[in-house]
Structure 1
């Protein structure tokens, strides 16, 4: 997105709110992929950028960089691509030595992996032997506290509490096997249909 003004042209980006509108389409984690595509197409048409090769190229690769396409991947929404590479760099930096041999690198790497495994087992043990503190007694949260790790549960709980303040149940319907409920989001002014 940093290249956007350069690739689209300064006339479009300086005189309009094109960049902020494009950012709202790309980085809105509540948009579904088809909504993102519709809004992208409408914005491109509005600014007459259908022939822009770079935008066409980026749109064709949208599954790789727009969060709406990979948010269903576990923990995919918590880390952006640059954050993943920064985490990897900081991990490898701990046991890199420019003058070291391959054997030294391997031994340090093994040591780091052993430490990571130990930490993971400790966290798993803590999650198995205790339950996190819940803020409400919703059955969903009580169940989540037994299934999720503590860290993931607290993230879930934060989102759940904020949704209680902004969401309300609407119409409900049923087909032969599934019940559907319309959930209205007062903040985003949208309605989601959820299968129960």
Structure 2
């Protein structure tokens, strides 16, 4: 069987509203960088693996590599942190804090991800957001190869899954190159 693949680019984009804090994957022990952190997610049943994760270092357990961070506007903090309570899974999480008075964007991405042509893939991220006084919202959108997998506005919500399915089942096709 000839598999056609396309290097895919995964983008997690975080756009902050005026002039409030923004956080990507922020657990409750984020080094006391904010006043009211969201609660950590508590699993009531063991997780079962349904498929292979095509991302390298998806939970930041090996630091920031191979993720590439890109920003617009002003961010006082952007980095991978380790916490005893951890992120959604594992002990690490990516944290971003914007002090901008205008919209700001934080994008973290990976490239050279190969997915079989015509495959239907789950494209999602677990995000926690915290806002001063729980006022306003943070817009979070997840992309795969330039296609939006889903978007939500988050207040102080704890861990929220943002994203969805791309591929034949959704009427869209993850393209392939001849080869």
Range of TM-score over shorter length:
under 0.3
Query: Highest Rg: 1 or 2?
Result: 1
Kindly indicate whether structure 1 or structure 2 has the higher relative contact order, using CA contacts under 8 Å at least 6 residues apart: 2
Pick the structure with more strand per residue.
Answer: 2
Larger relative helix fraction: 1
